Amino acid sequence: MKLYFFDGGALTCDKSSITLNRGAGTLIDIPITFFLVQHPQGNLLYDTGLARECLEDPDKHWGIVAKSYQFKFSKEQYITERLATVGIKPDDIKYVVMSHLHMDHTGGLREFPKAKILVQRREMEWAYTADWYQKAAYVRADFDQKLKYEYIEGLEQNPYDVFGDGSVTVWRTPGHTPGHQSVLVKLPESGSFMLTQDAIYTSEILNKKVLPGVCWNNEEAVKSIKMIQHMRDNGVNIVCGHDIDEWKQWKKAPEYYA
Ligand SMILES: [Zn+2]
């Protein structure tokens, strides 16, 4: 097995949109991240980064929400270009696990019509029905596509063991959104990695008592953070979704963890 970390560009935004009530007025860069697991039974992708349209005209593709960000995104950081650097074509992907359906994670989804797209049913419902404070973060053009969606049913299927051998499991981590999920990858040499995306935006959220700046339910967010802290305390490497300093420390594709 191999685990690849991909640099999908970055966005500049106000720090308070990442850490609740902290850092208003301070601009920070947040990395855009996605991951590939090469398993003997097939390739699995976790999230898909920014849409190709964001290279040219993010305002047109994202609408009003684009105004909150500056884009640091180039053609070679688009998902298909990044996968090509490790010899992978879209049709080589068997599964795409979606952390959630916010616009900085769904951009490349439509490149994978042959893959099974694993998303929490609750997340898909919320993507169409979100209230005003999150509505703009769901860009329908990205996910309202003819794709092979497979819905994971919340607590009933938690964790969801993708290959049936315990090596790649999908964990419900709601809070930021109702149907957020994280991926635990167990590697024979490098150990275990919990890929958390927006359940743990930054190490400040993991290690201090800080909530995510965008939060559907604080109570659920805290439960998810505590579960991930427990994994950390048991030696699992925790990979934050949008922490620029931590992100620099990981190996990036074409290097990998095995
Ligand atoms: Zn999000």
Mean pLDDT of 33-50: 98
Identity of the residue numbered 245: D
The CA-based angle 60-128-211, given to 5 degrees, is: 85
Mean pLDDT of 38-53: 98
**CATH assignment, 2-249:** 3.60.15.10
CA of 151 to the centre of ligand 1 (A): 19
CA of 188 to the centre of ligand 1 (A): 30
Question: Looking at residue 87, what is its pLDDT?
Answer: 98
CA of 189 to the centre of ligand 1 (A): 31
Question: Looking at residue 18, what is its pLDDT?
Answer: 92
CA of 220 to the centre of ligand 1 (A): 15
Question: Looking at residue 115, what is its pLDDT?
Answer: 98
The domain limits of the chain are 2-249
Q: Distance (Å, rounded) from C-alpha 62 to C-alpha 197?
A: 20
Question: Looking at residue 231, what is its pLDDT?
Answer: 98
CA of 100 to the centre of ligand 1 (A): 7
CA of 95 to the centre of ligand 1 (A): 20
Tokens coding 78 = 């688009």
Question: Looking at residue 165, what is its pLDDT?
Answer: 98
CA of 240 to the centre of ligand 1 (A): 12
Over residues 63-97, the pLDDT tens digits come to 989 999 999 999 999 999 999 999 999 999 999 99
For residue 5, report the phi and psi dihedrals to the nearest 5 degrees: -105, 130
Report yes or no on whether pTM surpasses 0.85: yes
Question: Looking at residue 225, what is its pLDDT?
Answer: 97
Q: How many CB atoms lie within 10 A of CB 134?
A: 18
Tokens coding 220 = 């659920």
Q: Distance (Å, rounded) from C-alpha 64 to C-alpha 202?
A: 25
CA of 137 to the centre of ligand 1 (A): 8
* Closest residue by Cα to residue 198 from 55, 46, 93: 46
Identity of the residue numbered 70: Q
In the block, tokens 């743990």 appear at 200
CB 15 within 8 Å of CB 24: yes
CA of 40 to the centre of ligand 1 (A): 30
CA of 177 to the centre of ligand 1 (A): 7
Over residues 167-190, the pLDDT tens digits come to 999 999 999 999 999 999 999 999
For all residues of the chain together, what is the average pLDDT? 96
Over residues 234-248, the pLDDT tens digits come to 999 999 999 999 999
